[in-house]
Amino acid sequence: MTPLRFTALLAATQLVIARPIAAPAKVTVKQGEQPTATLPKGTPQAHGLATNWTWSESSSVKSVSKNNGVPVSISQVDDLKKFARLATVAYCTDSFQGTSFTCKNYCSDFPGTIVLSTFDTPEYGTVGFIARNDNQKAIYVVYRGSSSTTNFAQDIKFATTSYPAGGEVHLGSFVGIPHADQWKITIFHIIVPGFYENYEESRDLVYNTVVSQMKKGYKLHLIGHSLGGSVAVLQALDFYQNAGFDNSNTITYTYGEPRLGDPDFARYVNKTGLRIFRTISMNDIVPHLPPSAFGYLHHSGEYWIKNSAGDVVLCAIADDDTCADSTVPFTSIPAHLLYWE
């Protein structure tokens, strides 16, 4: 698999992590349970997950005899690759000149695209851009990930808050999602900005621009890498609840998205019927944060790049332990930065 590099993060990360480790693991099995693994002593780790493990499909310690993932079509993989390239562009928005969609990498893959707005919010540093392509009848909202994946993995802390139907979450002033029950939503208190704070600070600009630009027959594409993927999902839910957008005109692509909430929230996201393509590269560490042991669950739509050849499978069950979860605890920060070309 030729890597698509999120270069703004890669160089900084390589300065602070040790050499990749591929030492033998200690595996223990209790009756009636899945095999569990212990990282070798001295393995660099965060929250019980290795930060730089060299992993291959055959090295899974969970003894997966059959992967539950379903191979996806070449055209689907091409779409995932295409929008991964657009996610990369969010790391170089400073090269845009006015409405001109120009940059060193990948902008030429989207001819006819014009920049409507860029944003780099003052308090929480939410970075991204909004663009339109009339040839494709497409609106693109693209969010950059956190500025330091290493800090993200090491310093993330976990807490939840609940909100009533139609209410607002005080932290981050998150727009409430109307429904019958109260739902728990993750609030991340981390050195890099929190998910809701990131979402809230860019929300009005994104929402108002998209609503004013959407035309009949156009589709909205929300795209984000890492933390940006989480913001993209939250913004998709906002459009669904407040602008009446649905799976006929809204598609979300995330790459290396962390877990966003608890099982109730994951079920809510699934029930909306929105098209969300949540891609994970091999043993990328970030999608396994916060750890499921803390009560967090991904929403559905996992597309797992299961090997270095770039083969992709669709895993229908969230956090299926025969898919990306089969790599735990042998995860890697570098895998978070290398997707496709």
% of residues, the chain, pLDDT over 70: 71
Model pTM above 0.85 = no
% of residues, the chain, pLDDT over 90: 47
Average pLDDT over residues 241-266: 92
Residue 35 clears pLDDT 50, i.e. is over it = no
Average pLDDT, the chain: 78
pLDDT digits (tens, 9 = 90+) for 187-228: 443 323 356 677 778 899 999 999 999 999 999 999 999 989
Residue 226 annotated among the catalytic residues of the structure:
yes
What local confidence, expressed as pLDDT, does residue 207 receive? 96
Nearest in space to 198 (alpha carbons), one of 277, 306, 90: 90
Average pLDDT over residues 279-308: 90
Average pLDDT over residues 13-38: 41
Mean pLDDT highest for which of 26-30, 42-46, 179-183, 329-333?
A: 329-333
pLDDT digits (tens, 9 = 90+) for 122-178: 877 789 999 999 999 999 999 998 766 655 665 566 665 553 322 222 232 233 333
pLDDT higher for 336 or 152?
Answer: 336
Residue 284 annotated among the catalytic residues of the structure:
yes
- Of the residues 60, 146, 147, 226, only one is catalytic, namely 226
- Of the residues 238, 262, 284, 325, only one is catalytic, namely 284
Mean pLDDT highest for which of 44-48, 52-56, 164-168?
A: 44-48
What local confidence, expressed as pLDDT, does residue 155 receive? 55
Residue 56 · residue 308 · CB < 8 Å: yes
Residue 242 clears pLDDT 50, i.e. is over it = yes
pLDDT higher for 108 or 175?
Answer: 108
What local confidence, expressed as pLDDT, does residue 64 receive? 45
Query: How confident is residue 31, by pLDDT bands cut at 50, 70 and 90?
Result: very low
Residue 323 · residue 304 · CB < 8 Å: yes
Nearest in space to 136 (alpha carbons), one of 164, 116, 110, 168: 110
Question: Which domains does the chain carry?
Answer: 7-19+36-337 (3.40.50.1820)
What local confidence, expressed as pLDDT, does residue 46 receive? 82
